[in-house]
Amino acid sequence: MYISSKTHAVVAALTMGCATAMQTSPGEPTSPAITARDLSTRLYIFSDDSMIGRQFGTEGNLKGAQYIANELARLGIQPGNGASYFQDVPAYKVSIAPGAQVILDGAPLAFGTDYVTNFPASGRAAPVDSLQVVYGGDLSDTTTLIPADQAAGRAILLAIRTPLQRNPNQILARYSGARAIITANDPRVMRPWAVTMSTDTTPARVNLVVSLAVAARLVGGDPLAMRTGTPGRWIRFSSIAFTRSQAPARNVIGIIPGSDPSLRGEYVALGAHNDHLGLRFAGPLDHDSLRAYNIMANRIVEARTHATPGTPGGGLTTAERGSIHVNVDSLHRIRPARQDSIYNGADDDGSGSVGMLEIAEAFAKSGTIPRRSLIFVWHTGEEAGLLGSRYFTDNPTVPRDSIVAQLNMDMIGRGGAFDFVGGGPTYLQLVGSRRLSTELGDIVEAVNRSEPIPLTFDYAFDANGHPERIYCRSDHYEYARYGIPIAFFTTGLHMDYHQLTDEPQYIDYEHMRKVAQLVHDVALRVGNLDHRVLVDKPKPDPRGACVQ
Ligand SMILES: [Zn+2]
């Protein structure tokens, strides 16, 4: 599942606690059926540290993609892009150019510690020389923000008093007339480069994230103590430049041809994403301390949101953070600190990726295949903004109109009572299953009722206008925008979402097995229908913005 900005991530104090672990040994051969054991075996491989977090545009993501392709070949599943299991996705890495500088008071700031920039997709910076900084207010309190007309033509510095509950891009859009937006935060938590699929060549505005120390230098003191509109120092941007180079990125695609020659030309698509977040650039954290902190933080947010239903979860307030106490010593009496800097993405979306391999294996080895064909797509670049699924649906390897439905799995390995109030061993969030086709939604329910242990569907996140916008936040939407009916299966967000602690020992494999089996059985049912699932709702504009 993707988040469109991680700009304002706030990192943790430490505390004591104890993490539960379910260890399973990897390396055993998999069996034809979808089993908890096989899911575990596969997930320990796919989310291993050797994949370096599988980040879009990096070698680690290629290794993950290669593992999937090797498994498809071993299982005798047909390649999904002509003779290849891979669909190369155009991707470009944008980095700061050697020698690029931001100058304050005649001296260059240090990239990575004093500041980082955004990385324009084009790799080209809009020309700017010296700019006077003006304090633009507290981004976490919109009543303090500078009016757009006063920001025009200037560099505005924004501070953040309390962690943001929402992506600030919507707020920042009003400052399109500013020459630069400078946000005070910790530059070390930002990625020092970006990978994009865009072929746009327009020079773009360069924005900065600067350290709190640099922010104080820019306006001559703690910005939060200043009045909005306070003028500050001049900074020089003139030598900022970027490099843009090709980066490796691949969707993985396999096909199981249908059993009925008259329907074989139609496809049921299944999807997951093969990428995750890579490395933590600010350096390692102690895994067990971070996990213990996340457990405590989760309890606080859960208590708060259930005391006042309908309020957003989001990050902790400063007071809430202060209420979590540090006792690293007693934690480390259990075992020594384990430094961790790899976002393994076991649930996100290792769970969907290996769940789909198990589904493919079950179809390939059981002899029970549907009349229609099955196309399995492991998308890349989901975390970078649904890039691989956008590319596949714009450039499908089978005719787009032949895809009758898409079933997407992203984060299907959690959802227990330990993760959130209302979770449990059969909990499943279902999103989008009736947004284009009432029939598809009905089929998912009917198939679920026929399972030995039916799952308990939570449709809350499918509500129109839901603030989490889950319908817009995973690969299925790229199919839905073309009018392909979709169903999105997820066990939901949790305390380890986009954390270093999203690791395979915290996955509930039996829960995950039930979800994968359900998706297998829905694919079989949809693939065997004597008609295409009926689209009875309006189709969105494929080039428009997603509406939850
Ligand atoms: Zn994600």
The helix/strand/coil state of 431 is strand
Measure 145 CA to ligand 1 centroid, in angstroms: 31
Measure 272 CA to ligand 1 centroid, in angstroms: 11
Measure 3 CA to ligand 1 centroid, in angstroms: 7
Measure 478 CA to ligand 1 centroid, in angstroms: 16
Q: Are 104 and 155 in contact (CB under 8 A)?
A: no
Q: What is the pLDDT of residue 10?
A: 26
Measure 63 CA to ligand 1 centroid, in angstroms: 18
Residue 496 DSSP label: T
Q: What is the pLDDT of residue 163?
A: 77
Measure 382 CA to ligand 1 centroid, in angstroms: 7
Rg over CA atoms, the chain: 24
**Burial category of 142 from C-beta neighbours within 10 Å (exposed 0-12, middle 13-18, buried 19 and up):** exposed
Q: What is the pLDDT of residue 289?
A: 86
287: tokens are 């895994």
Measure 103 CA to ligand 1 centroid, in angstroms: 36
Q: How far apart are the first and last CA of the chain?
A: 15
Measure 227 CA to ligand 1 centroid, in angstroms: 38
Contacts of 158 (CB under 8 A, 6+ apart): 136, 137, 138, 139, 145, 181, 182, 183, 184
Q: Tell me the C-alpha distance between 323 and 313, whole Å.
A: 17
Q: Tell me the C-alpha distance between 374 and 75, whole Å.
A: 15
Q: Are 92 and 246 in contact (CB under 8 A)?
A: yes
Measure 467 CA to ligand 1 centroid, in angstroms: 17
Q: What is the pLDDT of residue 322?
A: 77
Measure 256 CA to ligand 1 centroid, in angstroms: 28
Measure 385 CA to ligand 1 centroid, in angstroms: 10
Q: What is the pLDDT of residue 442?
A: 98
Q: Which residue has the tokens 């598809």?
A: 440
Exposure string of 433-450, with b = 16+ CB inside 10 Å and e = fewer, is bbbbbbbbbebbeebbee
Q: Are 235 and 155 in contact (CB under 8 A)?
A: yes
Measure 472 CA to ligand 1 centroid, in angstroms: 13
Q: Tell me the C-alpha distance between 545 and 122, whole Å.
A: 22
Measured in degrees and rounded to the nearest 5, phi and psi for residue 481 equal: -65, -20
Q: Tell me the C-alpha distance between 77 and 71, whole Å.
A: 9
Measure 414 CA to ligand 1 centroid, in angstroms: 14
Q: What is the pLDDT of residue 3?
A: 66
- 94-244 is classed in which CATH architecture? 3-Layer(bba) Sandwich (3.50)
500: tokens are 């270093």
Low-confidence ranges of the chain (pLDDT < 50): 4-24
Q: Tell me the C-alpha distance between 514 and 520, whole Å.
A: 10
Measure 411 CA to ligand 1 centroid, in angstroms: 8
Contacts of 32 (CB under 8 A, 6+ apart): 361, 362, 365, 366
The helix/strand/coil state of 93 is strand
Measure 271 CA to ligand 1 centroid, in angstroms: 14
- Domain 50-91+248-280+342-528, CATH 3.40.630.10 — does that match? yes
Cis-peptide, bond into residue 349, ω within 30° of zero: yes
Measure 121 CA to ligand 1 centroid, in angstroms: 21
Give the residue extent of every domain in the chain. 50-91+248-280+342-528, 94-244, 284-340
Q: What is the pLDDT of residue 310?
A: 62
50-91+248-280+342-528 and 94-244, same CATH topology: no
Q: Could you list which residues have their CB under 5 Å from ion ligand 1? A: 1, 348, 383
Measure 498 CA to ligand 1 centroid, in angstroms: 6
49: tokens are 């540290």
Sign of CA dihedral 213, 214, 219, 224: negative
Q: What is the pLDDT of residue 326?
A: 57
Measure 246 CA to ligand 1 centroid, in angstroms: 23
Q: Are 455 and 487 in contact (CB under 8 A)?
A: no
Measure 210 CA to ligand 1 centroid, in angstroms: 26
Measure 496 CA to ligand 1 centroid, in angstroms: 11
Q: What is the pLDDT of residues 254-289, one digit of tens each?
A: 999 999 999 999 999 999 999 999 999 888 898 888
- E-strand stretches of 121-257: 130-138, 155-159, 180-184, 193-196, 208-210, 231-236, 242-246, 250-256
